[in-house]
Amino acid sequence: MEINHIFVVLTSFSNIKSYSKICMQGIHKRKNGNTKQMINKENGGNLKMKKVKERKGIKGITLIALVITIIVLLILAGVSIATLTGKNGILIRANDAKEQTEIGKEKEAISLNYLTYDMNNEEKYNIGETLIDRTVSNGNSWHIIVDNNTNTNYGTGWKYISEGTDLLEYGTAKYNWLYNVDTGEIINLEQNSFVELAYGENLAVKDGLEFNLDSLNMDSDSPESWGNVVLNGFNGVEYDEDGNVVSGFSGKEFCFDGVDDRIELYSDSDFSGEGLTIETYGNLQGFDSEYLGNIYKGPIEGSMNAFKYLVGNSSCFAESRYHFQITGVFNQGNGTGSKYQCPNARNDFHIVLNDSISNGESYVTFVLKENGEFFVMLDGKKVAEDKFDEEYVEGYKQYLANNDYPIVVGMSATGDIPRYTKLQTYAIRVYNKALSEEEAIENYNKTVAYQKLLNQDN
């Protein structure tokens, strides 16, 4: 065994040179082969990289083109939508055309109704309400339509066909119309462009109305229709040295002399439950009549703590100049929580309605909701809106809810000192609820239209 092993070893060493040569040749072949493969791989890699770059370039160009295409499509879509739904778009014009067609058909139906009535004298075709001029001879039976756009009154000789009227052989009217029984003229009344007025109907909202000092429907200075009231200081109609009414009913407005005139309203209503609305409409003549409204609810002998409301020419404690505003002192607390709180005053809120003194007619609506939210409207337009904090709300509610305290019009108080104000008012109203903005606008439109009508007679 040992000889064999030695033999093998010796034999292996004897051939080592030739074996080494063979190995080296194999290594060179593999090296050359690997080198060629590496070269081929490099060339192939470069070709692939080149192709990838070329492809990336192609993809980049395609992406840009896609973005541009999308932008163009969006622009075209916008143009198409504007064409369809814009102010003068196809859909708008189509709807207008449809509406005009409906108006035309309805107008024709009204004409046919009256034509049939004239021919057959069948009362069922005599549609609409008969309007009557407002004259002395017509007394309380007058009924008119006032066109706000043209300030035209339609009365005797006209019929009013309101939306919902049954037009025989056609259906129900969708629009409001006027028909002249003498000429056959038919007028379409645009929505919210007119006011219907009749005696005693100058008020849109009657639900919740507690106090209604309304000179427009006054036959005399009798307060019976105003509410459960007590008059103090009034002694019939009083005049100044120039012959102007300073106290009582002038025939056009109700005047407070600023000396001792006040009206006390007693009610069992809880004014804190569903909110409160105060409307004041009147005429401010310089400093002879500083206020449109002066409302107070608290101890009749006067108190620092009470519900107090003023609207007219006044000033905040921190300002010396006068301007048209609303102020209110509800309770002696730590502030109102409103952005309208008067500077340097803990319990006063102060809303400037314009930057100058008002010397003409103004209509102010103050709506206070149960949760302390409120808004103010001047001449039918909202000019302020905010909310009082909870502590302030609880403070003034104790006075609004206390029925031992009357609502006093024309007087307020600072401590035990009464403060009377001159008022020249067309209307002062108090509701035991918060009116909606729409209801407040309705009241404004009807009341002002009624007042203009009254002025035409004077």
Tens of pLDDT, residues 16-42 = 344 444 444 544 444 455 544 444 544
Give the CATH number of the domain where residue 256 resides: 2.60.120.200
Q: 35 and 144: one domain? A: no
Q: 160 and 220: one domain? A: no
Domain boundary among 152, 177, 198: 198
pLDDT at 176: 95
pLDDT at 452: 77
Q: At a CB cut-off of 8 Å and minimum separation 6, what does 123 contact?
A: 117
Number of domains in the chain: 3
Burial class (CB in 10 A: 0-12, 13-18, 19+), 204: middle
Q: Residue range 201-224: average pLDDT?
A: 70
CB of 342 within 8 A of CB of 315?
A: no
Domain boundary among 34, 65, 85: 85
Compute the mean pLDDT over every residue in the chain, rounded to the nearest whole number. 77
pLDDT tens digits along 394-441: 888 888 888 888 899 998 877 778 888 888 888 899 999 999 999 999
User: Is pLDDT above 60 for 202?
Assistant: yes
User: Is pLDDT above 60 for 286?
Assistant: no
Q: 302 and 215: one domain? A: yes
What's the CA gap between 443 and 79, in Å, rounded?
Answer: 44
What's the CA gap between 367 and 382, in Å, rounded?
Answer: 11
User: Is pLDDT above 60 for 226?
Assistant: yes
Q: 63 and 139: one domain? A: no
Q: At a CB cut-off of 8 Å and minimum separation 6, what does 36 contact?
A: none
| pTM, full prediction | 0.65
Q: Is residue 94 part of a domain?
A: no
Q: 290 and 415: one domain? A: yes
Q: 302 and 390: one domain? A: yes
pLDDT at 355: 66
Q: 183 and 221: one domain? A: no
Q: Is residue 63 part of a domain?
A: yes
Q: Is residue 235 part of a domain?
A: yes
Q: 171 and 215: one domain? A: no
Q: Residue range 82-89: average pLDDT?
A: 65
Domain boundary among 85, 107, 139: 85
Burial class (CB in 10 A: 0-12, 13-18, 19+), 200: exposed
| Angle at the Cα of 154 from the Cα atoms of 176 and 427, rounded to 5 degrees | 95
Structural domain harbouring 220: 209-456
pLDDT at 82: 67
Taking CA atoms, 195 is separated from 144, 189, 264, 282, 422, in Å, by 9, 10, 33, 20, 31
Least confident of 110-114, 162-166, 259-263, 446-450: 446-450
